[in-house]
Structure 1
Amino acid sequence: MPYLQLPLGPLQTNAYVLSNEKSEAIIFDPGSESDKLIRRLKEENLKPIAILLTHAHFDHIGAVDDIRKEYSIPVYVSKHEEDWLAKPSKNGSGRFLGDPVVIDAADHLITEEGSFKVGSFAFHIFHTPGHSPGSLSYYYKKENVLFSGDVLFSQSIGRTDLPGGNHELLLKSIHTKLLDLPEQTYVACGHGQMTTIGMEMDSNPFLSGF
């Protein structure tokens, strides 16, 4: 498959690298350990063209500036979390880390759902709030994979006890948007192992009875 999963940092947050036949690459959620990520990109001879953020919690953004500087590429984030990158009180680092995470402003704000293209990569973006107000899920139909951030996990869902979290809204996001995707769709989760839409429909205990 043309994507890599790299668990990074103390929370083992999954960064994903999606590539094409030209060795161009999209980086999702470079949360930490920029040296490790850059080394892997060089080993694979990949040429990053953009950073896409599923949301702006600290464990998903910590290496953004290092990667952006290394490759001179733009960063995309939801308009709903525009100021989270530079505010530890919002990105969670002020609460959970000794060293606050402060990232430069994103180059582009994602303002709506629907078709979205970066280079030759064509996605469908779903606004999937609940874990955070600006959570985005990126569906890459060409390879049948959804980059879901911390919205949907294998046998679990994202936590909703952080600022801006909403349990009912998260369940609504999953049921009305993600579960309509083909059951064989791979789900590239923000933490832990990958899963599929079908597997979560059949056995995720958080999704029954909604």
Structure 2
Amino acid sequence: MKVVRIPAGIYAANCYLVYSEDTKEAIVIDPGGDEKDIITQIKDLELDIKYIIFTHGHGDHIAGVNGIKEYTNAPLAIHKDDEYLLMDGKSNFSSMMAMGTVEISADILLDDGDEISFGDLIAEIIHTPGHTPGGICIKIGDSIFTGDTLFAGSIGRTDFPKSSFKDIMNSINKRIIIYPDETKIYPGHGPATTIENEKRSNPFIK
């Protein structure tokens, strides 16, 4: 498995290209803007994009979707409880983020435990509500893409409508840090980390 991180858009949300070295089949996680840069990377790596997956529906993680969708024609996937965010520019904040209003329908509504195959890789969907009701983490091998649930040294905000501090802490403690210490964490913003690092230094994890 290869991972390319592209900090995208005015909020530098991490867009990830995850692909099989053998087949070049890939997924795009959270295209939050700068779609031309993302498409250039896809072209340069000669990737065959099979799915575009959102860890949640906030504008800074979806703002580049239209260009990526048009170029790849890949289906859009989001957890069923965040579908409303994807479809409403006011709810997903894109209408207030100086990035252009984004309102689009999902092709696939995900649920906890779903698996998405591409190349020789399998992406396992882990429902991690808290930052949003339908927030997910995506586990591929010994790596987890945590969106805005868990960051290096911090956690996602819970002061949005329908956010919950109780839920995000439950998601982190019962659904993420249960994995081995060496598990790599690719968050929605900022640098990669590991579960071991977060257990040791993240003030929210005890």
Alignment CA distance shift 1:98-1:18 (3 Å): closer
Q: Output the CA distance in 1 between the equivalents of 2:3 and 2:101.
A: 27
Per-residue CA deviations over 1:128-178 (Å, capped at 9, x if unaligned) read 01111100001112xx11010000000000011111111111011100110
TM-superposed CA distance for 1:99, in Å, is 5.4
Q: Percent of aligned pairs with the same residue? A: 34
**Paired residues of 2:62 and 2:102 also in contact (CA < 8 A):** no
SS of alignment partner, residue 124 of structure 1? strand
Q: Output the CA distance in 2 between the equivalents of 1:78 and 1:115.
A: 10
1:165 aligns with 2:163: yes
1:12-161 equivalent positions in 2, closer than 5 A = 12-20=12-20, 21-94=22-95, 96-98=96-98, 100-110=100-110, 112-120=111-119, 121-141=121-141, 144-161=142-159
Per-residue CA deviations over 1:88-118 (Å, capped at 9, x if unaligned) read 2211223x324552232010101x2114023
Q: Output the CA distance in 2 between the equivalents of 1:126 and 1:152.
A: 13
**Equivalent AA in structure 2 for residue 154 of structure 1:** A
Show the counterpart of 1:197.
Answer: 195
**Paired residues of 1:65 and 1:103 also in contact (CA < 8 A):** no
SS of alignment partner, residue 101 of structure 1? coil
Q: What TM-score do the two structures reach when normalised by structure 1?
A: 0.93
**Paired residues of 2:130 and 2:171 also in contact (CA < 8 A):** yes
**Paired residues of 1:115 and 1:124 also in contact (CA < 8 A):** yes
**Equivalent AA in structure 1 for residue 112 of structure 2:** E
Alignment CA distance shift 1:17-1:52 (3 Å): same
Unaligned runs of 5+ in 1: none
Q: Output the CA distance in 1 between the equivalents of 2:32 and 2:202.
A: 26
**Paired residues of 2:63 and 2:99 also in contact (CA < 8 A):** no
Q: What TM-score do the two structures reach when normalised by structure 2?
A: 0.94
TM-superposed CA distance for 1:191, in Å, is 0.3
C-alpha RMSD of the superposition: 1.3
Alignment CA distance shift 1:99-1:26 (3 Å): closer
Matched length? 204
**Equivalent AA in structure 2 for residue 58 of structure 1:** G
Q: Output the CA distance in 1 between the equivalents of 2:90 and 2:154.
A: 26
Unaligned runs of 5+ in 2: none
SS of alignment partner, residue 177 of structure 2? helix
TM-superposed CA distance for 1:25, in Å, is 0.9
SS of alignment partner, residue 52 of structure 2? strand
